[in-house]
Amino acid sequence: MFNRFRSVDLHLLAVLLIVVMAALPLLTRPGLPRHTDLELHVFRAAEYAGVWRDGVWYPRWAPNFYYGYGYPIFNYYAPFTYALSSAYALIPGVDGVAAMKGVLLTAFALGGFGAYFLARRHFGSQAAVIAAAVLVLSPYFVFIEPFMRGDAAEFLALGLLPWAFLAFDRPRFSIGQPIALALIIFSHNLLALMALGLLIVYVIWRGVLIDGKRRWRGDAVSIGLALALTAILWLPFFAERGAVRLEVAGPGHFDYHNHFVSLAMLLSPSPALDFGATAPKYIYNLGPIQWLLLIPGGIVGVARRKTPAGRVSLFFVVAAQLLIFLITPASEFIWDAVPGAALVQFPWRLLGPAALALAMAAGAAVSGKWLVDGGRSRRADHSSPFTRYLLLVLLFALLMTSLPTLYPPLWDAEFGDTSPRGAIEFELSGVARGTTSTDDFLPVPVGRVPPPNEALLASYASSLIDKLDRSSLPVGSTAQVEAHTAVYDRFRVEATAAFTARVLTFLFPGWRASIDGQEVPIGPEDQSGLMLISVPAGSHVIEIALQLTTPQLIGTLISLGAAVISFMLIVTRPRASAQNEVPASLQPSMSLSFFLSVLLFLVIKIAVIDRCETCFRYTSPPGQVLGAQYHQNAHVGGHVDLLGYDLPVNEVAAGGALPMTLYWRATAPVPENYQVFVHVGVPGVAPVGQSDKLNPGDFPATRWPQDKYVWDDHRVTIKADAPPGEYRLIVGLYTLDDGRRAPVLDETGHVTGDAVVLDMPVYVK
């Protein structure tokens, strides 16, 4: 019995409990959050699964988005998240929402166990548990990414990141290296670029300081094979980049200049959340224990710089410091100088890789006297009472400081309809078209998105969706839909005269049309970008099919060839050696202490803390913002109230930027989506500073509930030639189409103006 007990790695079970604790909202609540990017990913996954069911093994076209006109988002966006969700949806009883939950749970598990095994290789099991906790309980990984941003694709890529480092940790080529890197590339476009850059620096570091430069040949083969495996994605992306709109950088919301995070915020603990908000206000931070452990991690790395483990420690310590620096405004000159840096969009995206670097630094910090030197390993006595208690206290501190992030906002139990018609209804609500906010990946011929076609929408209730616009038929002509799939339509037409058929699908490279089996040209309709086909009089069969373009075919063949090579390498690979790995150290005393400590904390959390509605979170009453720095009420448009604002600083230099937050609340259903402006100036005079946003709080006003408030962050840019002096902040709402401002009303309902002048002055120096 004792031998069986010793054979169980209780450290792994402790990590499992930490992962379960982090993912508990997904395990205990029905549905998934809406009003974040997660709802976009759910609709994409449902669309991807539908194309799969039509027999397309690698979907490139989303046929039901953009009111049913379709567009090629999957030709450009990394597909692994949606493929994995679609695979989970094949399980009986698992719907699209549950399948996406499965993806998020997979990401949690991958991150936790990946960090554990990576840290265990260098620092031992006890340190590996701490490293796993540091990553999984980091605010960005446990809270911001899965629940507040809801970027399922990036979250999955983050979960895979430690496995890529684990694979490239080996000094020689291993088939796990290209597979791990390929999975990250298939998961998220932007994080793949960051991961590839970090891995290249890591293998260079190891080649120079640990393994020798001979390893680089194997690394080059691994990276090359990973690129070949993913050619099916990136080759068409670059070759057909000009066929779609893709405005992912530049002025506005996606300008990286607007998304730096101050060092003070990064080092701050996570605040308690206000559940009185539609989406509780949170901060981009590292976690206090996470960054504090960076200091001893650096000391340990320097002290052991002559050992492989010490040099690995130093890499992650340096990487963490560099990543943290790149998130802060002080690094702006680097972002400005590096070509392509603007594609990252949000510097705080680096919090994900930084969390892994901090996890490894933490593992080094608590590793005692673990050393790995030339294949020989020895370890210190981690079973001493002082060391054991110190590690348990540290684990407890990690768990305690993470509590504010373990309570994401509540969401509705019913997610809603994710069918093709449900996706169109989501678009009709005005939130987003095509599951993007800026019409990314829309074919270039589409100058202006045509309005929904009522006949097309009505056909979604029938057995076959009808993409032929009947208004384009000559008088007395008839048409019948004979077949429809995601990438194919067939119509039988009886035409009384020659005509130009209007097919309700956006034209994109790869679409082919034939009449009675003979290929005919397709043209785009001016502005709408819909297909136009010249049809002669008489009885005809019109067929439209999406075929592979030359770049898509070449990319597919390269990836298939690389997959065959990878399979052959897998079945013929020699048994891997683990001689350089630190022993797992299955000491029952210490591993049992870790396991029981985490289990006890989880039980207390579920039984006590979860039932306390004011522990680590609070709820502002309707019409109030308890956490607002300044309270000021104003009635706007007859259905929106301004409740207050935050103004951390009220002095700014000319050419600088002033951060602030507005708090809004709907007092009645909002009839239209407002835009918001913040001006710095004097009423009636041209402003010297300004900030405009498409949606206040990045949340369409027509969807605002009446029992919660919306927080609306701004970075007000001051003109470089602004005269010094005292100014006021002037805020208001307007409609984008006509620029009309919503009136400001007094308590009796009389109009007093079209903007609210805030009480606190600001000073331009």
Q: Given a cut of 80, is residue 4 above it in pLDDT? A: no
Task: Parse the chain into domains and list their residue ranges.
Answer: 2-30+76-411+570-610, 630-764
The tokens for 9 are 């790695």
Q: Given a cut of 90, is residue 456 above it in pLDDT? A: yes
Give the per-residue pLDDT at 667.
Answer: 92
Q: What is the largest CA-CA distance in the chain?
A: 93
Q: Given a cut of 50, is residue 527 above it in pLDDT? A: yes
Give the per-residue pLDDT at 6.
Answer: 53
* Residues 6+ away with beta carbon under 8 Å from 486: 50, 51, 54, 56, 59, 61, 63
List, as one string, the DSSP characters of 353-411. HHHHHHHHHHHHHT-TT-EEETTEEE---TTSHHHHHHHHHHHHHHHHHHGGGG-PPP-
Q: Read off the pLDDT of residues 209-250 as tens digits, 9 standing for 90 and up.
A: 999 999 999 999 999 999 999 999 999 999 999 999 887 656
169-199 in b/e form (b: 16+ CB < 10 A) is: bbbebbbbbbbbbbbbbbbbbbbbebbbebb
Q: Quote the CA–CA distance of 409 and 279 in Å, as a whole number.
A: 7
Q: Read off the pLDDT of residues 76-98 as tens digits, 9 standing for 90 and up.
A: 999 999 999 999 999 999 999 99
305, 435 in Cβ contact below 8 A? no
Once rounded to an integer, what is the mean pLDDT over residues 53-70? 95
Q: Quote the CA–CA distance of 253 and 704 in Å, as a whole number.
A: 21
Give the per-residue pLDDT at 566.
Answer: 93
pLDDT category at 251 given cuts 50, 70, 90 is: low
Give the per-residue pLDDT at 279.
Answer: 82
Q: Given a cut of 50, is residue 109 above it in pLDDT? A: yes
Would you say how long the chain is, in residues? 765
Q: Quote the CA–CA distance of 449 and 436 in Å, as a whole number.
A: 14
Q: Quote the CA–CA distance of 473 and 197 in Å, as a whole number.
A: 55
Nearest to 161 by CA among 101, 128, 202, 121: 202
Nearest to 83 by CA among 58, 116, 113: 58
Edge-to-edge strands of the sheet including 689-693?
Answer: 651-652, 756-764, 725-734, 675-681, 689-693, 709-718, 657-666, 640-646, 630-636, 744-745, 751-753
The tokens for 394 are 């540290």
List, as one string, the DSSP characters of 15-81. HHHHHHHHTHHHHHSSS---SSHHHHHHHHHHHHHHHHHTT-SS---BTTTTTTT-B-GGGTS--HH
The tokens for 597 are 């400590």
Helices 550-572 and 231-239: crossing angle, nearest 10°? 160
Q: Read off the pLDDT of residues 187-203 as tens digits, 9 standing for 90 and up.
A: 999 999 999 999 999 99
Once rounded to an integer, what is the mean pLDDT over residues 705-710? 90
CA–CA distances in Å: residue 332 to residues 253, 326, 342, 365, 698 = 17, 8, 11, 31, 24
Nearest to 414 by CA among 702, 65, 95, 80: 95
Q: Read off the pLDDT of residues 570-620 as tens digits, 9 standing for 90 and up.
A: 888 766 554 455 554 445 566 888 888 999 999 999 999 999 888 898 999
Give the per-residue pLDDT at 345.
Answer: 85
**CATH number assigned to the domain covering 630-764:** 2.60.40.2550
Give the per-residue pLDDT at 374.
Answer: 33
Give the per-residue pLDDT at 2.
Answer: 41
Q: Given a cut of 90, is residue 141 above it in pLDDT? A: yes
Give the per-residue pLDDT at 577.
Answer: 52
Q: Read off the pLDDT of residues 344-402 as tens digits, 9 standing for 90 and up.
A: 889 999 999 999 999 999 999 998 654 333 333 444 445 566 677 888 899 999 999 99
Once rounded to an integer, what is the mean pLDDT over residues 160-175? 94
The tokens for 724 are 């010094």
